[in-house]
Chains A and B, each alone.
Chain A
């Protein structure tokens, strides 16, 4: 393997790009997902319908098609975006759909009495959400959200099709130049597994802490 790692000088750089894609898209997707959740549970029918349609479309179509639409489709409309930002945009939009559903699940899991207690003291809808509901919902949704992050880490390999030189793309090019596809892809696969093994441990710790009552 040592030999192979040496023959894949781009490996570390590819790994860096993969992690960057995952982390940046997740953070942005989380923010966007939070906004979509707000729209989804708002009293405005228009906002609500928009959020439902968004989630349905992004969850109902292949991620690969969304990536291609951003990278190849937008230029047709006069918007040209470099590969990495394209990938980040696509992953963000996609994760936001899932994360908003996770967050909504968390919000729905919170006892109605929490809303009522806040309402009964005259707290505004937004304030109740921010101070009372969201903090509790986030905790409920932590396992699902952690799972999303891990899934996204693997999904970033799709960025290779739009020429982003991340882990998968590095493996592919190393494989094709050395004809050692098996070693290259096995190594890349092992690295993904390693990343996610670490994330899973982190998630387990987080869940254990979050699973306890507030003390």
Chain B
């Protein structure tokens, strides 16, 4: 697995009505790479992540995940296209900011649902995998609880376990700790750091500079629908190339960790 491409995005456009949220985004993520996506509120970070999983249909461009390509310029609902989309989704896992756990299923059932119905694992094997993951994430005693009984940090860990149970090649995180207090957030970041050691490709929208600096192989800085910079964290955080990134970093380091609103200067 030397330098295989995990994600390749070319010329991605996405508009909501007349509002063009992504304006020609190109991004390549290599297998095993950890990419931190940063940028001011409204930059299009969430939209980009959702496009990577085809939760949003881009208006133009191509998305390739581990060799499977969806051409968004011709949005025809063919059988082949749906199969490719499902294939991509099966290989990428998304950890949502608000977890989106299934409230009517227990923790374990949340984790094993897709492995059984999508990966077609036998139930007993899925349970084995599920229990192992729950153990790794310190959730063994919560196995048979419903999500309503769990704290935010526990919910996020279940969401991560659910994502890992699909044995994905890529995990997409959208602000994984922004809903958590500092302590719980640190715990989640620690778990994510451990994941990097396993060679899973990760794309993480985050405002945690310390975390990105430590964990990311690359920082992608977005603003107003464009990727303005891609840098190694050591470069990005000490010497960002664009004025936008400079003012963004100033705000983040002063702020409370929430996505800052950059004033439009143009």
**A binding-site residues for B, Cβ under 8 Å:** 43, 111, 113-114, 116-124, 127, 131-132, 135-136, 139, 213-215
Closest 3 CB pairs of A and B: A122-B90, A121-B114, A117-B100
Report how many A-B pairs have Cβ atoms within 8 Å.
69
Report yes or no: B96 in contact with A113, Cβ–Cβ below 8 A: yes
Contact B102 A132 (CB under 8 A): yes
Residue total for B at the interface (Cβ-Cβ under 8 A) = 27
20 contacts between A and B (CB under 8 A): A43-B77, A111-B100, A113-B100, A116-B94, A117-B102, A118-B114, A119-B53, A119-B55, A119-B89, A120-B92, A120-B94, A122-B87, A122-B166, A123-B113, A123-B114, A131-B117, A213-B103, A214-B104, A214-B146, A215-B148
Minimum CB distance partner of B90 in chain A: A122
Docked-complex contact A215 and B117, CB < 8 angstroms:
no
Contact across chains for B98 and A113 when beta carbons are under 8 A apart: yes
Whether B93 is near chain A, meaning CB under 8 Å from some CB there, is yes
Known: A121-B90, A122-B89, A213-B148; 5 extra A-B contacts, CB below 8 A, are: A113-B100, A122-B114, A127-B117, A131-B113, A214-B146
In the complex, are the beta carbons of A123 and B117 less than 8 A apart?
yes
Q: Do residues A135 and B104 form an inter-chain contact, with CB atoms below 8 A?
A: yes
Known contacts A131-B113, A213-B103; A123/B118 CB under 8 A: yes
| A120-B55, A121-B166, A122-B90 known; A214 vs B118 contact (CB < 8 Å) | no
B250 at the interface (CB under 8 A from A): no
Contact check, A214 vs B103: say whether CB atoms are below 8 A apart.
Answer: yes
B136 interfacial by beta-carbon distance below 8 Å: no
Q: Contact check, B146 vs A116: say whether CB atoms are below 8 A apart.
A: no
Residue of B nearest to A135 (CB): B104
Contact of A121 among B93, B101, B146 (CB under 8 A): B93
- For B129-157 the 0/1 string (1 means CB < 8 A from A) is 00000000000000000111100000000
Q: Which residue of A lies closest to B56 (CB)?
A: A116
Chain B residues with CB under 8 A of A131? 113, 117
Establish whether residues A214 and B100, one from each chain, have CB atoms under 8 Å apart when the complex forms.
no
Interface residues of chain A: helix, strand, loop or mixed (majority): helix
* A215-B53 in contact (CB<8A): no
Q: Kindly report which residue of chain A lies nearest to residue B97, judged by CB atoms.
A: A113
Complex CA distance for A190 and B114, rounded to whole angstroms: 52
Residues of B within 8 A of A116 (CB): 55, 94, 96, 100
Which chain B positions have C-beta within 8 A of A124?
86, 117
- Contact check, B53 vs A120: say whether CB atoms are below 8 A apart: yes
Instruction: Given A121-B118, A122-B87, A131-B117, answer yes or no on A215-B149 (Cβ-Cβ < 8 Å).
Output: yes
Selected from A122, A213, A214, the residue in CB contact (under 8 A) with B86 is A122
Provide the residues of chain A in CB contact with B146, threshold 8 Å: 213-215
Residues of A within 8 A of B104 (CB): 135-136, 139, 214
A214 contact set on B, CB distance < 8 A: 103-104, 146-148
0/1 interface trace, chain B 215-259, chain A, CB 8 Å (1 if under) = 000000000000000000000000000000000000000000000
What is the bound-complex CA distance between A124 and B114, given in angstroms?
10
Q: Give the residues in chain B near A43, CB-CB below 8 Å.
A: 77
Name the interface residues of B98-135: CB closer than 8 Å to any CB of A.
Answer: 98, 100-104, 113-114, 117-118
CA of A135 to CA of B103, assembled, Å: 10
Contact assessment for A136 and B55 in the assembled complex, using a CB-CB cutoff below 8 Å:
no
B191-214 vs A, CB cutoff 8 Å, 1 = contact: the mask equals: 000000000000000000000000
How distant is B88 from chain A, measured CB to nearest CB, in Å? 8
B180 CB, nearest partner CB in chain A, Å:
18
With A215-B148, A215-B149 as contacts: A122 and B118 at CB distance below 8 Å: yes
Write the chain A residue with the least CB distance to B159.
A117
CA A119 to CA B117, docked complex, whole Å: 12
Q: A113-B98, A214-B146 known; A120 and B103 CB under 8 Å?
A: no
Beta-carbon contact of B101 and A117 below 8 Å = yes
Interfacial residues of chain B within 70-99, with CB under 8 A of chain A in the complex: 77, 86-87, 89-90, 92-94, 96, 98
**Per-position 1/0 for B160-172, Cβ under 8 A of A:** 0010001000000
- Alpha-carbon distance A117/B50, docked complex (angstroms): 11
